[in-house]
Structure 1
Amino acid sequence: MITRSLEAIIRMLDADYIEQGNMNVQIKGVCIDSRKAVAGNLYVPLIGARADGHAFVKEAIQGGVAATLWKRDVPNPPADIPVLIVDDTLDALQRLAKAYREQLSCRIIGITGSNGKTSTKDIAASILSQTYRTYKTLGNQNNEIGVPLTLLALADDAQAAVVEMGIETMDEMDLLSEMVQPDIAIITNIGEAHLVNMGSKENIAIAKCKIVKAMKPKGLLIYNGDQKVLRDAVARLERDDIELATFGIQPGNDLQITALATSMDHISFSINQEAQRYELDMIGAHNACNAAAAMLAGFALGMCDEAIQRGLNHVEKTGLRNEVMQIGEMLVLNDSYKSNPQSVEAALDTFDTIQAPYKIVVLGDMLDLGEEEIMIHYHCGKELAKHAVDEVLTYGELSAFLCQGASNVLSCPCFHFTTHAELIEYLKPYLKKTCAMLIKGSRGMHLDEVVEALKGSK
């Protein structure tokens, strides 16, 4: 974590300050939640839609913070610790992260894309940690608040860091790139997530490619060469001082995945038609592409095949993504963190590899898909005909159309639910039956709560 004198923090922010309390303190880390404040922290009171962090500064002081940022026009700053006056606390947090990143010597891999960011982050961090002191984004802290917190959590002696970078609008990547300044950037793929804000997949590709805006000269952009929309966006980049590398299934990629094999607990593959096999302790064929992107980053940093294979064997996975668990007699594939048409198809492909006498698919709404959201859900339901499914359950307003699409092509039961409680009660009897369930939906549908309720009722 950032460890600097208060004087250094003031210089990094070019902030005004109220000289009170102990001005000789050493800042050790930052916090934005007064409940999580620890001794030595710099408290950053953010103003949100529901709460203003300035109102909780007393709790932060009780937690031991050494100093606080303070928005210039907010009255009554605390009188017992140093106060750094800024025009906007979020902007100050981001500027501090940018200044700190510029003082670090570690190599940073920035990862963006419509799907697979978190899995690729986990794989890349595991690979790099075999050779380097490596840090990574925790959980899903990948936005305008999470990215600066991730950077400020890096240790001074970090040798490598893997930073997830998520965007919802056309211009957000400009800000994230300026903070992260990646040495290596990865774009996993382009899908339909956030169409409501960006309008088209072409626009999404252009927005994602802005990850190279603040990339250092001679940096490396790794991207999915199977997608024409992404190839076209990369071709329009006005950066002739960076290297390019592609991955994918199709011939012509710099790293082509070949001889892919899947099972219920891992996948294996070769690259570029070579005999050597790589094994990844994750499920789902789509994770081969995520692994390929991470491997290219490892190769670029001079890592050998042996170290890369060790990393693939010991991935520390972020929860709620392709998480396999046993609840009673039911085997559950919990993929309830996010959802869009591409990730649903990938989850169904993964579910196809699971052997069970009875297979249930639970799908929630896919959010932020724009004007075509109803038809997208309907067609997604029709796509279920390609998969081995014995029962389809849907939850949410939009998923009613998904259920309708499924009903039109499947002879199996298809039921729609409007509350968690109804869905949970319906599923409880299956906990005593030998079966498998895939559960997937956008984060806003909170289908992870259904899983937790089932775990508590077994």
Structure 2
Amino acid sequence: WSVSEIAEAVNGKIVKWGSPGTICTDTRSLNTSTIAAGQWFFAITGENFDGHDFITSDLYSKGCVGVIGNKVCENWEWGFVKLQEEEDDCQNTLIALEKMGIYARNKFKGNVVGVTGSVGKTTTRTMIAIALENLGLVHQTNGNQNNQIGVALTMIGIPGNAQVAVVEMGMRRKGEILKLAGMCRPSIGVILNVEPAHLENFGCLKEIANAKGEILKEMKPGDICVMNADDPLVMSLPVPLGVKKVLFGRRMGSDVRLVVAENTNGGYGVRVVLERNTEMVEFVIQSPGLHLALNACAAAAVSGVLGVSLPEFAYSLPRFTPVNMRSELDIAENGVRIINDTYNANPTSTKAAISLLKGIECRGKRVAILGDMLELGPAEVEAHETVLSLCCVASIDMVALVGKKFISAAEKLKLSGTKKVICSLDSEALALQIAESINKDDVVLVKGSRSMKMETIVDAIKAIPLEPSV
């Protein structure tokens, strides 16, 4: 980005000229710790942080060539683009960031794939990016940056030689997907599913479906919408005139059909058979979890739209590995096999994780450590009871629960106080308790909403001093 482009994009004023450079597109750079040589620091202001607090003269020694924001420190001698003043400094930096994202989208001439849904966004986005690699450089969302800031940063970070951008789009409330879609304007929109995630912010699942369907409102004739044929709520969404609908799923008549999804390699892999236009391919995903098969089916539908043949897709997908903290298999040095699924949790993803645990070959105990599922509103009581009941019928050897919601469910089902169930109000306390119950060769699922801090338990299990298997 040149300083002129930056100023034009954010509608700002060039106070000091600076060298061309990239923009800090990792939100961790808010504390300037990840700034690389030749970067401009965008000083975002939020409710609980202010990027301007980290603007000091030693930023230049770290490689920063300029600042985009409301102010700089005294004796700042390098580039500075000053944003337009607003009553709310927090809003003006976010508005400017969004403008810059839109400016970047206007410059980008390649395809933008927008991925939304209640579950599976990050996994599917990663699979799509892998499948499209033969087309040229693929730019994709970094980590889980799928909100207003994250999508803007994704667009701003598109390299000039990229052919495709794959953008993950998340939401917690009505109107958020519409805002993201207005910023990235996907030429290919993907709606994976509608499930009870963030339900407390909506009256019913239909309202969640309508919120996900906001991605369609920015689509124009000639664009393509890839939809889950197995999900009635997804299929009920009206597609704009002139937008082509491409279907994936198990349902007959799907453009890409999931024919077979079954565990293999002792449950540590998934054998998948897909069909498109009477052509069938078979491949193995080297990760546990049958739910991965439908993610792969969606990715095949997207890549097919962009010219990737089904055999090419089948050849590329075995390179997929789980995204950090999402059904990530970690074999600890002490011999315990940990399924680290601690990034987030809702009823659908938790049921899938329990099914994954049930299907895995195990020489020790199968242990499910579950943290409360949040933002479920009136459905939370039934949801936690249903998950616990599933653990019982799935023959899980031990269940450990973190949080008031799961503890209440255990009490209602008369499971608390039994040898099979351990309860704790917080993850740190459970981390101390669970060490006595885990043995080498156990397979342990750790699952919970992000704010439950379930990764603390993963670290504690790894630290248990057990003699590993030979």
- TM-score, length-scaled by structure 1: 0.91
Deviations 1:303-324 (A, max 9, x none): 1233211221101432111111
1:259 counterpart residue number = 260
Contact 2:130 2:317 in 1 (8 A): yes
Contact 2:226 2:301 in 1 (8 A): yes
Name 2:143's counterpart in structure 1: 139
Equivalent residue in structure 1 for 2:307, among 292, 302, 309: 302
For 2:243, the aligned partner's letter is I
Given the alignment, which residue of 4, 8, 11 partners 1:7? Answer: 4
Instruction: Pick one of 76, 80, 86 that aligns with 2:84.
Output: 86
State the alpha-carbon separation in 2 of the partners of residues 204 and 60 from structure 1. 43
The answer to whether the Cα contact below 8 Å between 1:170 and 1:207 also exists between their aligned partners in 2 is yes
Answering whether residue 291 of structure 2 is matched by residue 286 of structure 1, we say: yes
Partner of residue 105, structure 1: 109
Query: CA contact under 8 A between 1:130 and 1:307: conserved in structure 2?
Result: no
Deviation track 1:374-407 (CA, whole Å, cap 9, x = no partner) reads 2321232223233121111100121212333554
The aligned counterpart of 1:376 is 383
Matching of residue 29 in structure 1 with residue 36 in structure 2:
no
Aligned length: 447
1:154 to 143, 158, 167: 158
Tell me whether 407-416 or 34-43 shows the greater mean CA deviation: 407-416
- Are 2:415 and 2:421, in contact at CA under 8 Å, matched by a contact in 1? no
Letter in 1 for 2:104: Y
CA apart distance, 1:365: 0.5
Q: How far did residue 453 of structure 1 move?
A: 2.4
Cα separation, partners in 2 of 1:347 and 1:361, compared to 1, 3 Å = same
Provide closer, same or farther for how the CA distance between residues 411 and 252 of structure 1 changes in structure 2, counting only shifts above 3 A. farther
Contact 2:261–2:273 (CA under 8 A) maintained in structure 1: yes
For 2:338, the aligned partner's letter is V
Cα contact 1:142–1:166 (8 A) shared by 2 = yes
Which consecutive residues of structure 1, in runs of 5 or more, have no partner in the other structure?
Answer: none
Q: Deviations over 1:55-110 (max 9, x none)?
A: 22115445332222223xx6978752323222411111111111112111221211
- The aligned runs of 1:399-410 (5 Å cut-off) are 399-404=406-411, 407=414
Deviations 1:296-340 (A, max 9, x none): 011101112332112211014321111112222322111111100
Counterpart CA distance in 2 for 1:335 and 1:341 is 13
Compared CA separation, residues 85 and 394, structure 1 to 2 (3 A): same
**Distance apart, 1:216 and its partner CA:** 4.5
Structure 1 segment 343-362 matched on structure 2, within 5 A: 343-356=349-362, 357-362=364-369
Percent of aligned pairs with the same residue?
Answer: 26
SS at match of 1:429: coil
CA separation of 1:316 and 1:351: change in aligned 2, threshold 3 A: closer
- Counterpart in 2 of 1:450? 457
Unpaired stretches in structure 2, ≥5 consecutive residues: 86-91, 466-470
Q: What is the alpha-carbon distance in structure 1 between the residues aligned to residue 409 and residue 254 of structure 2?
A: 35
Given candidates 319, 325, 330, the residue that maps to 1:320 is 325
Q: 1:76 to 1:359 in 2, by over 3 A?
A: closer
| Compared CA separation, residues 168 and 35, structure 1 to 2 (3 A) | same
Alignment partners' CA distance in 1, 2:246 and 2:349: 24
Greater shift after overlay, 164-173 or 306-315? Answer: 306-315
User: 1:35 is paired with a residue of what secondary structure?
Assistant: coil
CA contact (8 A) 2:446 2:457 kept: no
Q: 1:413 offset after TM fit, Å?
A: 1.4
Question: Alpha-carbon deviation of 1:429?
Answer: 3.5
Which amino acid in structure 1 is aligned with residue 268 of structure 2? D
Structure 1 residues 275 and 44: alpha-carbon distance in aligned structure 2, compared to 1, 3 A threshold: closer
Amino acid at match of 1:294: A
- Residue range with higher mean Cα deviation, 396-405 or 363-372: 396-405
What pairs with 1:143-292 in structure 2 (closer than 5 Å)? 143-232=147-236, 234-235=237-238, 237=239, 239-263=240-264, 264-272=267-275, 275-292=280-297
CA distance in 2, matches of 1:161, 1:407: 50
